[in-house]
Amino acid sequence: GGYDWESSLRQKPQARTVFQAGASNWCKPVALDKDRVNGRESQDEVVGILKYTTRIPMGREMLLEQKKKKNLQHLSFLVDGKGFLTGELVWGKVQGFSWWPGMVMPWKTKSVPPGMRRVEWFGDGMFSEVSNTAAFTKCFCKNSFASLPVYKEAIYQIIELAGERCGKSFVKAKGDKEKELKLMLDWAFEGFLPTGPEGFLPAGMGMFINPSKKKKKLHLSKIPVNVFLSPDRADFCLSCGSSEIEVPHPLFEGGLCLRCKENFSETLYRYDEDGYQSYCTVCCAGLEVILCGITSCCRVALCHWGRKGFGLGTTEFHLFYPSIPADQRRPIKVLSLFDGIATGYLVLRDLGFKMERYIASEICDDSIAVGMVKHEGKIEYVNDVRTITRKHLAEWGPFDLLIGGSPCNDLSMVNPLRKGLFEGTGRLFFEFYRILTLLKPKEDDNRPFFWLFENVVFMSANDKSDICRFLECNPILIDAVKVSPAHRARYFWGNLPGMNRTLAASLDDKVSLQDCLENGRQAKFDKVRTITTKSNSIRQGKQGSLPVTMNGQEDYLWCTEMEQIFGFPKHYTDVNNMGRMQRQKVLGRSWSVPVIRHLFAPLKDYFECE
């Protein structure tokens, strides 16, 4: 409109409203009218009587719980007579949005506008600067609760926090979130008895802190050494000295904070060439360490931590079974389905496991020949997995470890003629599930039983969901590119301890393609594509070049080089007069040795080793 908006065909743009503006954009707050209903979606939104409560967190994420605790410990209570104090649970309203539950948070700026409050919203964790706030007992929308999952989650979180402050527990729900939410709401509508709304006010609400004064940060004083050596060590983290304990230390009398627990989980099962841990059992550092004097113990610790009782472990916080004392461990008995070229046996042998029996089901003659020749007939081969019965398992067992990875031809999205999980070779997954069901120990049998199932990542979402439904767990994704020169992303389902810890390469792992090549050959790439049973998988891209040059010309990977890429010794598949394509096929169906070593290493705490 050159003349006026009213005479123009162009629509007048809406005024831009910044509802999360900074302190400089503050305007005079609008006072709340106790009887006002405007701005709410309907009269049903004003239901009245909901007061804050929470429970002692039972299944809450540790990071969120830790964040809330920190916020409560370091609050500065703002008192200006024009609103709620820092740490209070409130309803807040931003223009254009409905009322939403939140918590008043401290300001990060030196100048605090009067009447404005910085609110963190439950449900999404966002922050807003608002002046339109009300007590949590003033508004509660039944319609939103029934239709908006985010709103329901926000109500759950705010009542959970209120209950935590009141010391209220909802253990009767037994982990059922819907039932727990119902108990929370009943408790809220009954008036948050016995403490009432005053019970969930943040600690120290009565104290006044002038917002103009600089906030003081609390620092934990350095804990003296005599405290660490005292019998009462459960109140702080043994690794960093923090007072925020999440779990007990699995090997010492004491605790671990959340961050140190994660570090401990990642480093506990990293072993050096000499069979000892690479990192300290206490502080997870990898500098100067001392070895345990007990011959059967593989633990290490920093020198100032060596003391009586070291190496006597308790039940680890991230394991399904407690570790077995070294003098009570026995050789492992393994059943391997779809065994391939005996990757499982090779890794267990290299890790030093004593094997009582290793039974493998495999139908490929070339793969069987590799296992028979390279492992000197120590592997007992049986027929097709579909012929294994309950009677066979009773005669061979009981087994300590079940491993397998069914063929992925009919599961991989790369195959345009794939038949899915319920047709073709995809149905072989159910053979693994059948045998897993038969091998699982009964409820009164406390012996450790571990299992591992592997398959391709690039499968349909429905097939993955069905596998998870039958195995009753979600997979972890491990890509061998972190410990080898080739990409090889695979899903692993199972109950092996420490499966989800970080994958890290050891000094012996060859992570670059050049490290795997013979003399006189030059790698054109540092990493290569996933090597499959197809010859064109060696080429980098559909019409890409070959990965190696020799005498100025491109060349394919030699068989010995492919073996080292997978982590096998040289000439591992050089049996039965197999040609290059035959050897590539058996390698393309195998597992990556460093990945399986990473998964099997924690089992050393359960079974006898050399």
Provide φ and ψ at 355, rounded to 5°: -105, 120
In the residue annotation, 408 being an active-site residue is answered as yes
Angle separating helix axes 580-588 and 559-566, nearest 10 degrees: 10
Question: How does 161-171 read in b/e, with b if 16+ C-beta sit within 10 Å?
Answer: bbbbbbebebe
Question: Contacts for 186-194 with beta carbons within 8 Å, 24 or more apart?
Answer: 187/53, 187/159, 187/163, 188/49, 188/50, 188/51, 188/52, 188/53, 188/159, 188/162, 189/49, 189/50, 191/49, 191/51, 192/51, 192/52, 192/53, 192/162, 192/166, 192/168
Q: How many CB atoms lie within 10 A of CB 121?
A: 21
Return the structure tokens found at 308.
């009586």
The Cα 152–Cα 161 span in angstroms is: 14
The Cα 170–Cα 181 span in angstroms is: 9
Q: What is the DSSP letter of 9?
A: S
Return the structure tokens found at 243.
């007072």
What number of residues does the chain have? Answer: 610
The Cα 116–Cα 118 span in angstroms is: 7
Question: Contacts for 101-108 with beta carbons within 8 Å, 24 or more apart?
Answer: 101/136, 101/154, 101/155, 101/157, 101/158, 102/128, 102/158, 103/71, 103/158, 103/161, 104/78, 104/133, 105/71, 106/74, 106/75, 106/76, 106/78, 106/215, 107/23, 107/78, 107/211
Q: Helix (H, G, I), strand (E, B), or coil: what is residue 438?
A: helix
- Three-state SS across 353-410? ECEEEEEEECCCHHHHHHHHHHCCCCCEEECCHHHCCHHHHHHHCCCCEEEECCCCCC
The Cα 251–Cα 238 span in angstroms is: 11
Based on C-alpha coordinates, what's the Rg of the chain?
31
The Cα 238–Cα 307 span in angstroms is: 14
Tell me which residue of 374, 397, 409 sits closest to 382, measured CA to CA: 397
| Residues with Cβ within 8 Å of residue 369, at least 6 apart in sequence | 575, 576, 578
Tell me which residue of 563, 607, 118 sits closest to 332, measured CA to CA: 607
Q: Helix (H, G, I), strand (E, B), or coil: what is residue 609?
A: strand
Q: Helix (H, G, I), strand (E, B), or coil: what is residue 62?
A: helix
Q: Helix (H, G, I), strand (E, B), or coil: what is residue 100?
A: strand
The Cα 569–Cα 567 span in angstroms is: 7
Q: Which of 166, 280, 284, 408 is catalytic?
A: 408
Catalytic residues, by residue number, are 408
